[in-house]
Amino acid sequence: MGTDLQLGYSTGYWGSGPPAGAIEGIQAAERLGYTSVWTAEAYGSDALTPLAWWGAQTSTIRLGTGIVQMSARTPAATAMAAVTLDHLSGGRFILGLGVSGPQVVEGWYGQPYPKPLARTREYIDVLRAIWRRDKPVDHHGEFYDMPLQGGTGLGKPLKSTVHPLRADIPIFLGAEGPKNVTLAAEICDGWMPLFFSPRDDAHYRSCLADGFAASGDAGKAERFEVACPVTIVVGDDVERCADAVRPFLALYAGGMGARGANFHFEVFARMGYEDVATKVQDLYLQGKKAEAAAAIPLAMVEDVALVGPGDKIRADLDRWRETCITTFLVSGPPSVLPTYAELILS
């Protein structure tokens, strides 16, 4: 993993429509030395279409999905989209993908959720087989069957008609749990954490090291990337800056997933905030969203975000620079991007 922090620009989830100023922000990011731009999907806009549309108006910045929902597409459909975008962008595409949670997987995509780690491993095996294009794909696993056994009996192993520009299109895995982080290091090219805290760096490095060892690739750790979303709010009043972050943390710790099946809750519990996260979850599930946000202490915000005056953020950045993170993924209107570049890249 590299030592110099890079910057990526996340366009984020759409609301009722496309985010205002997205293309201006992306083009500004490219001019300012940001190295990547990322799109997202959950159960609204998809990640691939905006990336192609906006990416066509750039020339050097890498184009990543943060993240493609595995349950939304078969491995073949994802592989085809990745090959297409990689060709159109001249080899700038990064496939960020993840399993999401049971509410979205089963509720929106109508797909089964159990065994997410095994499903991820098999999904990526199929992607790699398609991109290698060394033989027709003949895969019969626990989750994916190509060609389908049964049916009409007319299916046959096929090989992509398109020659991939790169057979090694990079795959970044969105992961929070220890086993999933280890899996990312073993079979992927990058990891996309959420709610990373510098004080958990040793824990995550241990998970990554286990994955690197399992990969059998002695040089993998040096090439591996960790692209981490980090919220930055600059202002004179630290508490007011933290107030801009608290509703976001309350939503994820308290409102995402169901009680007992919220992976974001578990991240904060591992940090030592289980009592806080339980209170936040109780309030959020009662519909008391403002009270849930107010229950989040400043220390919890500062563990996962950078808030306050510029000089404070610069000082706080010292501990982030010592972590396994290689790229900060930031978001916001075009006007804030020069400030982020000055803070992080200077």
List the beta bridge partners of residue 228. Answer: 328
From the list 41, 52, 130, 38, the residue with the least C-alpha distance to 84 is 52
Instruction: For residues 82 and 60, give the distance between their C-alpha atoms in angstroms, rounded to a whole number.
Output: 18
Going by pLDDT thresholds of 50, 70 and 90, the confidence category of residue 321 is: very high
Q: If you average pLDDT over residues 61-76, what whole number do you get?
A: 98
Q: What is the mean pLDDT of the chain?
A: 95
Whether the per-residue pLDDT at 288 is higher than 90: the answer is: yes
Q: If you average pLDDT over residues 188-206, what whole number do you get?
A: 97
Instruction: For residues 307 and 197, give the distance between their C-alpha atoms in angstroms, rounded to a whole number.
Output: 14
- Would you state the pLDDT for residue 295? 97
From the list 285, 325, 306, the residue with the least C-alpha distance to 191 is 325
State percent of the chain over pLDDT 70: 98
Q: Provide the 3-class DSSP secondary structure of residue 41.
A: coil
Q: Which two tokens stand for residue 87?
A: 């060709």
Whether the per-residue pLDDT at 2 is higher than 60: the answer is: no
Give, in order, the Cα–Cα distances in Å from 173 to each of 140, 183, 199, 305. 23, 9, 22, 21
The tens digit of pLDDT for each residue in 229-239 reads 999 999 999 99
Packing angle of the helix pair 75-88, 116-132 (nearest 10 deg): 50
Burial letters 77-89, b for 16+ CB under 10 A, else e: ebbbbbbbbbeeb
- Would you state the pLDDT for residue 5? 92
Instruction: For residues 346 and 338, give the distance between their C-alpha atoms in angstroms, rounded to a whole number.
Output: 11
Whether the per-residue pLDDT at 184 is higher than 80: the answer is: yes
Residue type for position 242: A
- Would you state the pLDDT for residue 1? 58
DSSP string spanning 65-131? ES-EEGGGS-HHHHHHHHHHHHHHTTS-EEEEEE---HHHHHHTS----S-HHHHHHHHHHHHHHHH
From the list 303, 283, 278, 302, the residue with the least C-alpha distance to 293 is 283
For residues 186 and 160, is the Cβ–Cβ distance under 8 A?
no
**Is this model's pTM higher than 0.85 or not?**
yes
- Would you state the pLDDT for residue 93? 99
The tens digit of pLDDT for each residue in 98-157 reads 999 898 999 999 999 999 999 999 999 999 999 999 999 999 999 999 999 999 999 999
Q: Which two tokens stand for residue 40?
A: 């997202």
